[in-house]
Amino acid sequence: DIQMTQSPSSVSASVGDRVTITCRASQYISSYLNWYQQKPGKAPKLLIFAVSNLHGGVPSTFSGSGSGTDFTLTISSLQPEDFATYYCQQSYSAPFTFGPGTKVDVK
Partner 1 sequence: QVQLQQWGAGLLKPSETLSLTCAVFGGSFSGYYWTWIRQAPGKGLEWVGDINHSGSTNYSPSLKSRVTISVDTSKNQFSLYLSAVTAADTAVYYCARGLGSTEATMGYWGQGTLVTVSS
**Preceding omega of 44 cis (within 30 degrees of 0):** no
Give, as ranges, the residues between 21 and 80 that touch partner 1 (CB under 8 A).
34, 36, 38, 42-46, 49-50, 55
Closest to partner 1 by CB, 5 vs 79, is 5
Q: Does 91 bind partner 1 (CB under 8 A)?
A: yes
- Please tell me the count of residues contacting partner 1 according to CB under 8 A: 23
Closest to partner 1 by CB, 44 vs 76, is 44
Taking the complex as a whole, how short is the minimal distance between the CB of residue 15 and partner 1, in angstroms?
26
Is the alpha carbon torsion for 76, 81, 83, 84 positive or negative? negative
Identify which of 18, 50, 55 has the alpha carbon closest to the alpha carbon of residue 37. Answer: 55
Dist. CA 21–CA 27, nearest whole Å: 19
Dist. CA 28–CA 82, nearest whole Å: 29
Applying CB under 8 A, the residues found at the interface with partner 1 are: 1, 34, 36, 38, 42-46, 49-50, 55, 87, 89, 91, 94-101
